[in-house]
Structure 1
Amino acid sequence: MKFVQTFVTSTALAMLACTGCQQKQNAPSAFIDLSAIDTSVKPGDNFFLYANGNWLKKTTIPASEVGAGAFLDLYNRTKNNIHTILLDAEKNAAPAGSIQQKVGDFFASGMDSTTIEKLGYTPIQPELNEINTLKNAADIIHYAAQAHTRGSGMLFDFGVYPDDKNSMATIAVFSQGGLGLPDRDYYFKTDAATQAVVQAYKNYLQKLLILTGTDSLTATQQVEQVYALEKQMAESHKTNVALRDPQSNYHKMAVAQLSKTMPNLQWPMLLKTLNIQVDSINVQQPEFYAKLNQLITTQPIATWQLYLRLHTLNGVARYLSTPFVQASFNYYGKALNGQTQMKPRWENVYRTIDAQIGEALGQLYVEKYFTKEAKQRMDELVNNLQKAFANRINNLDWMSDSTKQKAKDKLQAFIKKIGYPDKWRDYSKVNIQRNQYFNNIMAAEANNYQYMISKLGKPVDRTEWEMTPPTINAYYNPLYNEIVFPAGILQFPFFDPQADDAINYGGIGMVIGHEMTHGFDDQGAQYDKDGNLKNWWSTSDYDLFRKKSQQVIQLYNGFTILDTVHVNGALTTGENIADIGGIAIAYDAFKMTKEGQDTTQKIDGYTPDQRFFLSLAQIWRSKEKDAYALRLINTDPHSPAMYRVNGPLMNFTPFYKAFNVVPGEKMYLPENERIKIW
């Protein structure tokens, strides 16, 4: 389980579409969508609705989307740019083995629906036949481990990452997994919305069995067996909140000891099948593996065979013929997210290419769409925010000087990555053929697995990226102590070289400040400047920090969506701290600019400070389908968009001054109750 903290959930970004968004012009006023502002709402009552209310009223969500929002214009523009790249690569003959050939032929193979429909599910038939031959627990473990080497993770989660307590070295990390529903709690909640998702999941599994030759009645019975097995596995899973504590999810164990305490998991054979040779591993959630050690021998082999069959099919259904793609969409698209129409085929193929050979596609993207000017301007913004953050640390009234110095040391040690990697991934071993979509995916998956495994025993390569260049997101990685901003997010509405500073600092400046603050949120604060899970705080300072974090939890627990569904303050703590800190740091950096120091010059009737806050609020405008909003509230560590705006601003005094927020208005908090951490 990789630990990186993103600006926004990747699923949310990937699924937002463009509806009713204003196209920017070169004039500065065009960077604020004046038509979105609802002046019937007081800024101090609900600033999110003030900045976006008219847009919310007139916007409808497309059938193929789970939502619409401020990322919409950016995502659609980026998506269409990539479509152009893919079409050009497909039609223009390129030298064999070049990235253009691989990208173009991969896209062509994915668009070859005639061949894909003809093949049905025969591409996965060899694996299904192998499952039928399994005879005992060791066979089950061996198959699941082999599946990981093909990129099909099942039964457990596994990866190779820097060691939390020795960040310059890599370690094999095993974490809980094996479930088909989004989260353990889905197996135990009894409310109607959850039960509807559970039934849709069962229907999906039944359809997979029927499509591969099982009669309807038998399929229904078999799915109940597999679901009961998964529910037993879920009992041992930690909750999403418990998973946020890095100390309690670090358990470095000797393989020899694991072989004694959990012998049924066949650890030596399991590791050999995974193609790794190590003496110790990090078992993040031992309780899960203890339960798996029990279940692997107490559950019938026939039930385990069904489990493997269904998880094998689920892992590849979206790459097979239309009946499988439709079955997958009915669960993942409709039931989980509220979509009523599938996205066009080319978009799904693009996402597959981005996932499998993303840095090859990324090279073509940055060559055509990312400018040196944007990178230079981002360097300036990042450096200004770093200075602003250091000043804020100096001025903290709750932290001792010794801890302040260590905090500033960590801040100055940030690795800053902007746009795209300094060195690109080598895909020379991936053989991409123009008419073999499934085989291309399997070849890329196998290559990605070998790339990951090859890291074991070698020094950590801190030049690596966790996101591809076109990705519209950003992240902080505590193990590298790095902040990363892919080229995809360095566009309007977040950033534009033509925009005034109020727009850029309220947009991408907030993103930068957010990621910087992740280094000092409730999780990131437990890692030192070198990326090690190691305490660098004085006891009294850390106690004060935890009390302030608890205030954040309590505040966000009081926020609701869909009238009665509460935000989980404990699950969203880190992102909320990053939002609160990110806005404050971005504002301080903005005040270093000429425009930021001018409090009177107005554009379209708004002062520079007001434009800063409007920019911030309008990047978050969004509207989601209820099913999708409910899934996010259960599983996503980010708060809903409205509270990513209103929550931080109700704690930020300059906002009160900019919009004359006074007692009696709904966002008003007395000054002594406003949360200030960083």
Structure 2
Amino acid sequence: MTKLISHCNNIFRSQETFMRRCAFLLSMTLYFSLFAHAEQHGIQVGDLDRNADPCTDFFQYSNDTWRSQNPIPAYMDRWSRRWQAGEKAKDQLKVILDDVSSRTDWPRGSVEQLVGDYYGSCMDESRVNKLGITPAQPMLRDIEAMKNGRDLQQMIFRLHQLGVFVPFGLVSASDNHNPSQTIAKIFASGLGLPDRDYYLKTEPRFREAREKYLVHVQNMFKLAGYEDAKAKAAAKTVFELEKKLAENSLDNVALRDPQQTDHKTSFADLKKMVPTFEWDTYFSAANIPRVDLNVSEPKFMAEVDRQLREISLPDWKTYLKWQLLHGQADVLSDAFVNENFAFYGAYLSGAKELKPRWKRCAESTDQLLGEALGKMYVEKYFPEDAKARAQVMVSNILSAMHDTIEGLEWMSPETKKKALEKLSTFNPKIGYPDKWKDYSSIPLSRESFWNNEEAAEKWN
């Protein structure tokens, strides 16, 4: 330790810099002394394929040994160290979820009750299968009962509450022009195929995908009780409506250009852009302020406006029923889950097997009750002292960066000022939040996985 301090003294001249940077070095020494036994991270040289020429194929050179030793699991459509780490984390979550769901006497509204009941209802496969299409029937009946455009727009809002974003979606996002601000973002949605190319391109693989998609939509309607002929006609109606949306969507190349999806718009101009939609009613119901927002694809929204005016109500009913079945397939019985997997998981994505149910239930719990499950996770696997040590390290790093900027001779005073201002905006978030979300108002029970998922989606 004496040698370390002496080394610091030789490197740093000012007393303040000396103290700060030594604190950083000492904290790093403490960290590595505490965790010397832990698994080392960084570049894994054993992954390298030494027989490959990095100048010809660097990907093969850097990854091929690992890839040959780690084939893609049958239930996954991709695999890497990152995905592998995620699956290992699920194994840890399973320990927590199995334990908390084994009891039904947790205090009402507690983290344990919420997570246990949500996961438990998802894992009750026999009950989910016994219910079949029943949980979806009330909403399917409400769609069928729509009488006019106002009913249609109210149903669109209800679907949005479930996370079924059709024919557009609305979420919160950072303002592209002021990242410190969060604004509403309206984006193109409502397609059952991955993107516009699948509807419009003529290559064999796209034609085949369209044919299989029509069969899939037809099968889903049949599972919902439609006769063959009616299901086939419904699938055609869905495809034609979606194709028009796709024709007015950006392609994948355009979507990668941030300027193509950056259209900051006032609320008044949004109403002019899509005058048929009752935005005042929607924003009031969603409790969204009527301020500037981003409309990512104005041309798409113009097509939505046209369809709201011109597409018949029966066709809208068919389309919304399909989107409900499609969006909620994983919450329904195995018949829907398997049909959904056969098209999206196996055919489009290449997975050979459906994920085990516990993994799907763990993912759903994490998605909708993330901080509740996260709270239990960190209590078991990430103690407070680990976070405290990390916070000290980050604080020392920031102090060292501050001193470095101030000591740069080549940087002008004005540039230093800007750099320090930027540094001051750094907001480190380590491990978990200081204040957890409160999910206690969500009415969850073991009775119905569909009802639990709906309640959690609405809360989020």
Task: Give SS of 1:114's match.
Answer: helix
Query: In the alignment, which residue of structure 2 is the partner of 1:579?
Result: none
Q: Pick the aligned partner of 1:37 from 23, 48, 61.
A: 48
Q: Pick the aligned partner of 2:358 from 332, 346, 351.
A: 346
Contact 1:105 1:433 in 2 (8 A): yes
Q: Pick the aligned partner of 2:189 from 163, 177, 188.
A: 177
Contact 2:173 2:185 in 1 (8 A): yes
Contact 1:89 1:100 in 2 (8 A): yes
Q: Pick the aligned partner of 1:254 from 244, 267, 273.
A: 267
Query: In the alignment, which residue of structure 2 is the partner of 1:208?
Result: 220
Q: Is it true that 1:303 corresponds to 2:315 in the alignment?
A: yes
Contact 1:37 1:50 in 2 (8 A): yes
What is the distance in 1 between the residues matched to 2:107 and 2:79?
A: 40
Per mean C-alpha deviation after superposition, the further-off stretch among 202-211 and 57-66 is 57-66
What is the distance in 2 between the residues matched to 1:95 and 1:248?
A: 46
Q: Is it true that 1:91 corresponds to 2:96 in the alignment?
A: no
Query: In the alignment, which residue of structure 1 is the partner of 2:24?
Result: none
What is the distance in 1 between the residues matched to 2:285 and 2:88?
A: 43
Q: Pick the aligned partner of 2:92 from 74, 81, 85.
A: 81
Q: Pick the aligned partner of 1:355 from 367, 370, 375.
A: 367
Task: Give SS of 1:424's match.
Answer: coil
Read off the aligned partner of 2:238 and give its amino acid letter: V
What is the distance in 1 between the residues matched to 2:381 and 2:398?
A: 25
Q: Is it true that 1:120 corresponds to 2:152 in the alignment?
A: no
Query: In the alignment, which residue of structure 1 is the partner of 2:210?
Result: 198
Read off the aligned partner of 2:127 and give its amino acid letter: T
What is the distance in 2 between the residues matched to 1:206 and 1:276?
A: 37
Cα deviation for residue 38 of structure 1 reads 2.6
Q: Is it true that 1:312 corresponds to 2:312 in the alignment?
A: no
What is the distance in 1 between the residues matched to 2:400 and 2:189?
A: 41
Structure 1 residues 75 and 274: alpha-carbon distance in aligned structure 2, compared to 1, 3 A threshold: closer
Structure 1 residues 34 and 145: alpha-carbon distance in aligned structure 2, compared to 1, 3 A threshold: closer
Cα deviation for residue 409 of structure 1 reads 3.2
What is the distance in 2 between the residues matched to 1:59 and 1:249?
A: 41
Cα deviation for residue 34 of structure 1 reads 5.6
Per mean C-alpha deviation after superposition, the further-off stretch among 115-124 and 411-420 is 411-420
Q: Is it true that 1:419 corresponds to 2:431 in the alignment?
A: yes
Task: Give SS of 1:220's match.
Answer: helix
Contact 2:372 2:437 in 1 (8 A): yes
Query: In the alignment, which residue of structure 2 is the partner of 1:622?
Result: none
Cα deviation for residue 166 of structure 1 reads 5.6
Q: Is it true that 1:155 corresponds to 2:158 in the alignment?
A: no
What is the distance in 1 between the residues matched to 2:145 and 2:133?
A: 19
Query: In the alignment, which residue of structure 2 is the partner of 1:236?
Result: 248
Read off the aligned partner of 1:250 and give its amino acid letter: H
Read off the aligned partner of 1:427 and give its amino acid letter: Y
What is the distance in 1 between the residues matched to 2:79 and 2:192?
A: 27
What is the distance in 1 between the residues matched to 2:402 and 2:52?
A: 33
What is the distance in 2 between the residues matched to 1:341 and 1:222?
A: 29
Query: In the alignment, which residue of structure 2 is the partner of 1:53?
Result: 64
Contact 1:393 1:407 in 2 (8 A): no
Structure 1 residues 414 and 434: alpha-carbon distance in aligned structure 2, compared to 1, 3 A threshold: same
Read off the aligned partner of 2:82 and give its amino acid letter: F
Query: In the alignment, which residue of structure 1 is the partner of 2:10?
Result: none
Unpaired runs of at least 5, structure 1: 1-24, 449-678
Read off the aligned partner of 1:63 and give its amino acid letter: A
What is the distance in 1 between the residues matched to 2:310 and 2:403?
A: 57
Q: How does 1:357-506 map to 2 (within 5 A)?
A: 357-372=369-384, 374-375=386-387, 378-379=390-391, 380=393, 384=397, 406=418, 409-448=421-460
Q: How does 1:110-149 map to 2 (within 5 A)?
A: 110-149=122-161
Contact 2:273 2:301 in 1 (8 A): no
Structure 1 residues 35 and 270: alpha-carbon distance in aligned structure 2, compared to 1, 3 A threshold: closer
Structure 1 residues 58 and 215: alpha-carbon distance in aligned structure 2, compared to 1, 3 A threshold: same
What is the distance in 2 between the residues matched to 1:327 and 1:390?
A: 60
Cα deviation for residue 130 of structure 1 reads 1.1
Contact 2:114 2:440 in 1 (8 A): no
Contact 2:265 2:294 in 1 (8 A): yes
Read off the aligned partner of 1:364 and give its amino acid letter: M
Contact 1:146 1:274 in 2 (8 A): no
User: 1:22-59: CA deviations, max 9, x gaps?
Assistant: xxx94988987565433222455444433433333344
Structure 1 residues 205 and 39: alpha-carbon distance in aligned structure 2, compared to 1, 3 A threshold: same
Contact 1:147 1:154 in 2 (8 A): yes
User: 1:36-90: CA deviations, max 9, x gaps?
Assistant: 4332224554444334333333443222111332125422321111000001101
What is the distance in 2 between the residues matched to 1:220 and 1:408?
A: 63
What is the distance in 1 between the residues matched to 2:398 and 2:344?
A: 39
Structure 1 residues 333 and 400: alpha-carbon distance in aligned structure 2, compared to 1, 3 A threshold: farther
What is the distance in 1 between the residues matched to 2:195 and 2:340?
A: 18
Query: In the alignment, which residue of structure 2 is the partner of 1:70?
Result: 81
Cα deviation for residue 157 of structure 1 reads 0.7
What is the distance in 1 between the residues matched to 2:210 and 2:400?
A: 49
Read off the aligned partner of 1:359 and give its amino acid letter: E
Read off the aligned partner of 2:265 and give its amino acid letter: K
Query: In the alignment, which residue of structure 2 is the partner of 1:337?
Result: 349
User: 1:91-141: CA deviations, max 9, x gaps?
Assistant: 244222210111112111111111111110111101111111223333222
Structure 1 residues 340 and 392: alpha-carbon distance in aligned structure 2, compared to 1, 3 A threshold: farther
Structure 1 residues 433 and 272: alpha-carbon distance in aligned structure 2, compared to 1, 3 A threshold: same
What is the distance in 1 between the residues matched to 2:176 and 2:136?
A: 37
Q: CA RMSD in A?
A: 3.3
User: 1:623-657: CA deviations, max 9, x gaps?
Assistant: xxxxxxxxxxxxxxxxxxxxxxxxxxxxxxxxxxx
Per mean C-alpha deviation after superposition, the further-off stretch among 162-171 and 339-348 is 162-171
Read off the aligned partner of 1:79 and give its amino acid letter: K
What is the distance in 1 between the residues matched to 2:96 and 2:136?
A: 30
Q: Pick the aligned partner of 1:274 from 270, 286, 293.
A: 286
Task: Give SS of 2:276's match.
Answer: helix
What is the distance in 2 between the residues matched to 1:57 and 1:346?
A: 28
Per mean C-alpha deviation after superposition, the further-off stretch among 293-302 and 338-347 is 293-302
What is the distance in 2 between the residues matched to 1:188 and 1:221?
A: 20
Per mean C-alpha deviation after superposition, the further-off stretch among 335-344 and 139-148 is 139-148
Contact 2:197 2:206 in 1 (8 A): no
Read off the aligned partner of 2:322 and give its amino acid letter: L
Query: In the alignment, which residue of structure 2 is the partner of 1:226?
Result: 238
Query: In the alignment, which residue of structure 1 is the partner of 2:297?
Result: 285
What is the distance in 2 between the residues matched to 1:212 and 1:423?
A: 43
Q: Which has the larger radius of gyration?
A: 2
Cα deviation for residue 283 of structure 1 reads 2.9
Structure 1 residues 392 and 41: alpha-carbon distance in aligned structure 2, compared to 1, 3 A threshold: farther
Unpaired runs of at least 5, structure 2: 1-35
- Aligned residues with identical type, % of pairs: 35
Per mean C-alpha deviation after superposition, the further-off stretch among 316-325 and 276-285 is 276-285
User: 1:164-190: CA deviations, max 9, x gaps?
Assistant: 456666543322222222223332223
Structure 1 residues 299 and 281: alpha-carbon distance in aligned structure 2, compared to 1, 3 A threshold: same
